[in-house]
Amino acid sequence: MTIKEFIEELHQKGIQVSFSGTKLKYKGPEEHITPELIEKLKKFKPKLLKYYWPEEFTNLMPINTEGTKQPLFIVHGDNANYIISDHLGCDQPVFGFFHPGSDGEKIKYTSVEQMGEDYLAQVLKICPNEPYSLIGFSYGGVLAYDMAVHLQKAGKKVDMLILIDTFSPLAKEPIRWEKSLYMIIRKNFLRPPRIKLKRLRKLLICKMYVAMKKPVPVERRKDYMYITYMNLTKKYKPDKFDGDILLFRSTKNPSSHQYLGWETLVNNIKMVEIEGKHLEIFIGKERAELLATEIETFMKEKNAGKR
């Protein structure tokens, strides 16, 4: 039986299915609520959750809805959503945020705080009870950090915060000294304005499509998201997070800051380096296994500390 056939069966029997948190609720004529039907509901639960997923969750999707543990929320993890979920197993519920603007639509957010507030509202509907576990990749790490801070301000416990190759807004790069005066001027004073102008031109082209109520072309969407994220991060003034973080850093990350600027914002940092460039961090079996294994170890350490 396919999921469509089962949903049709539910309709024919007058069974109404609704969504609440990570649970499915059902009601209907008692004569149709049989042990066999309940077993089918359990069997099809993941697919039913996706089918009945509320429209109000604008960019939060279920990765794994099974399991008895507190849900894990991954912000902009892309393929890592599935890598991490598969490694942690079926008893760990995982939900992932995908990028606004990924379908060429307008990115409506004007600040990290506004974006984090929207994401956090979706998290609280899924998981109203503490503690919370958050992972963020790149700019998604900035959002995960902001969400964790706001949860703490609301008196809620954050068990785990993991940042994957994420720059802090405080990570300002010093002047780079080169072998010649010409190279110092070129790299530190001439190159940055050119890059800024180039990015501004790309962003204006993307906003032109948005203003005309047309989707941003596929080949320009990465630029649209990346430049928007950079501009939001530059304006962000983070408060301190009262806790420890696990920080992954790619070995070819160009930052001069060992901990990418997070050392003054958190209590302690456990850092793990992953070989390669920023966008290669999830590519390849060895990288994926290292990432997932370190996350699992960090989760176990946090759970052991609660005892």
Asked if pLDDT for residue 121 goes beyond 70, the answer is yes
Question: pLDDT confidence of 136, banded at 50, 70, 90?
Answer: very high
Whether 59-173+212-305 and 1-53 are alike in CATH topology: the answer is no
Instruction: State the chain's mean pLDDT as an integer.
Output: 88
The model carries a pTM of 0.83
Domain parsing of the chain, residue ranges = 1-53, 59-173+212-305
pLDDT at 212: 93
The answer to whether 237 touches 169, Cβ cutoff 8 Å, is yes
CATH 1.10.10 fits 1-53, yes or no: yes
Partners of residue 17 on adjacent β-strands: 26
Average pLDDT of span 229-257:
95
- Superfamily name and number for 59-173+212-305: Alpha/Beta hydrolase fold, catalytic domain (3.40.50.1820)
Residue with tokens 């945020």: 97
